[in-house]
């Protein structure tokens, strides 16, 4: 396989997008846990909606990685283990704390996206996806979870 100049310049961006993808996969796992916990409550529809948006975000990031010639991550890795532990611990302290842990995860996602946008190796198409779609979506998740936390 011949290495092209374009593939060399996209290597750092592949790493950034795969890191963000692991975060999205972790979010999906965490929302699965929350949905299981809140199955018989009025908030479950909102949790499903947010989980679906994380699925879409993961798909978009995976597509970016493939477009750059990389292999998308398929597991959340350490983020998934951490998210599972946080969500499990939150379950011990009641329903409101579970929403606060989801909200903290979303805020961490915002910081990850903001950090990616400050990286000069981020390619224009990835920068546009993050700034126009993924970061605003994640900020809306924070606000939605704030409302949910107040309602339980």
- The mean pLDDT of the chain is 85
pTM given for the model: 0.84
21 or 30, higher pLDDT: 21
Residue 96: predicted pLDDT = 62
CATH superfamily placement of domain 5-151: Ferritin, core subunit, four-helix bundle (1.20.1260.10)
d(CA 83, CA 122): 26
Burial call 36-63: b when 16+ CB within 10 Å, e when fewer = ebbeeeebeebbeebbebbeebbebbbe
Overall average pLDDT of the 40-55 stretch? 94
């Amino acid at each position: 396989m011949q290495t092209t100049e374009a593939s060399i310049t996209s290597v750092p961006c592949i790493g950034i997008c795969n890191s963000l993808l692991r975060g999205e996969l972790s979010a999906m796992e965490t929302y699965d846990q929350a949905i299981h916990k809140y199955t018989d409550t009025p908030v479950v529809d909102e949790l499903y909606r947010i989980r679906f948006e994380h699925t879409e975000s993961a798909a978009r990031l995976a597509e970016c990685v493939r477009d750059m010639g990389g292999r998308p991550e398929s597991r959340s890795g350490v983020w998934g283990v951490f998210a599972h532990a946080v969500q499990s611990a939150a379950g011990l302290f009641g329903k409101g704390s579970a929403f606060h842990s989801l909200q903290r995860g979303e805020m961490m996602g915002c910081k990850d996206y903001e950090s990616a946008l400050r990286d000069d190796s981020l390619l224009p198409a990835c920068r546009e996806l993050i700034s126009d779609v993924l970061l605003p979506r994640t900020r809306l998740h924070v606000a939605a979870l704030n409302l949910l936390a107040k309602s339980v």
